[in-house]
Structure 1
Amino acid sequence: MVRGKIQMKKIENATSRQVTFSKRRNGLLKKAFELSVLCEAEVAVIIFSQKGRLHEFSSSEMQKTIERYYKYAKGGHTNNTDVEQYMQRLKRESANMAKKIEYLDDSRRKLLGHGLSICTREELQEIESQLERSLRSIRARKAQLLMDQIVHLKAKERLLIEEKKSLSEKCGAKNPRQLLAQEKDVVTFCSRSCQSSETNVETELFIGLPEMRCSKAV
């Protein structure tokens, strides 16, 4: 189905006008994004709706893009006013950064338990909530590490059991009872050998000449 050509004039119906604005706005912002990515172009789009609502897109910092636009719109020449505005912007950014650093440092001191005397009940409750969230995260990470260690030890245990089984099979002992029985057989054999040797050894004591010993034996 072919779409009909839309006449370029104001849409009288308020609902249709709002729907068309939303669709065309999203399409325009999407095309601006694609242009900035595909062509590495610095793109900035500013849209104000009929009710004065701001919609914008910028591939970089919007303020820098506007300043760059003013710079090239004036023929590429800068003046003292531009330099002064740039310095004022840097001062504002520096002041905002200093405030953020001060806020982060104050929050860190409160989390460590310092400077709590000036805190309200709501602030103390918020600090307590932050600490509880941090503690839960720490405990979860600790539990994960313990579980990983348990899994590693179990795997190591299985390897040791398999290695022990392999060594037992190489030694010809299928189980500890057979090995113990073999040891008992060896001990019994040694005992019997010693007893047999003792019975064959002459222990009679004889004093005298060899002839006397022979005659006595006769």
Structure 2
Amino acid sequence: MRMVRQKTQIRKIESLAARQVTFSKRRKGLFKKAQELSTLCDVDIALVVFSATGKLFHYCPSSMSEVLERHGRLQSQNVGEVQQLSHEMEIVRRRAVMLSQELEEKSCELRQMKGEDIQGLDLKELSKLEDIIASGLAAVVKTKGERMLNEISTLKKKEAQLLEEKAYLKQQLARMDTCVGQRGIQDQCSQHCSLELTISDMSSEDPAHNYNVSSLYTCLKLGLPSSD
């Protein structure tokens, strides 16, 4: 059966002797890990440790002063960026507060224009509100009149267009009626001519038959039909 290793609780070691022994072991392990990281990854490392008694231990594969100076420059740059960001955030906050106040004022004016929340206004404020409403009403009436005139003009154009289309359709209908009448006359003339030719053929084919051709010819007439 495999034994499960218990985790060591990370807390301050009360015994001074045990604490010094643990510090010595862990410090050496920490410096070893720092050396491996610097060698494997080719990075600059500056490790500074002060013991409980105030003794200094440090590790740096390169120049400690150069690494610390570089850290100081970056720290100053970061501080400047943080300050700039804080300044910009303060500007945004003030702008948001100003917009919020402006929104509240405009909302109050809108309610007052609707006749709400006007009990606390004095005569001067009421007169100013009346002038604003009157000016807005005049603008609304003017815009409404312009829109109505535009609608009337559009309707008149549509009416003229419909009248033109109506006249065109009437003209086309009259032409169609004329064509139909002329075609009917031509059909009647064709029927009369066909009947006359048929009778003429009958009389010429067999003279022995006693056709009363004279009586047939008296009933056939070429030309337009009479009004009777």
Fold agreement, TM-score > 0.5: no
Shorter-chain TM-score range: 0.3 to 0.5
Q: Report which structure shows greater RCO (CA 8 Å, sep ≥6).
A: 2
Normalising by the residue count of structure 2, what TM-score does the alignment of the two structures yield? 0.38
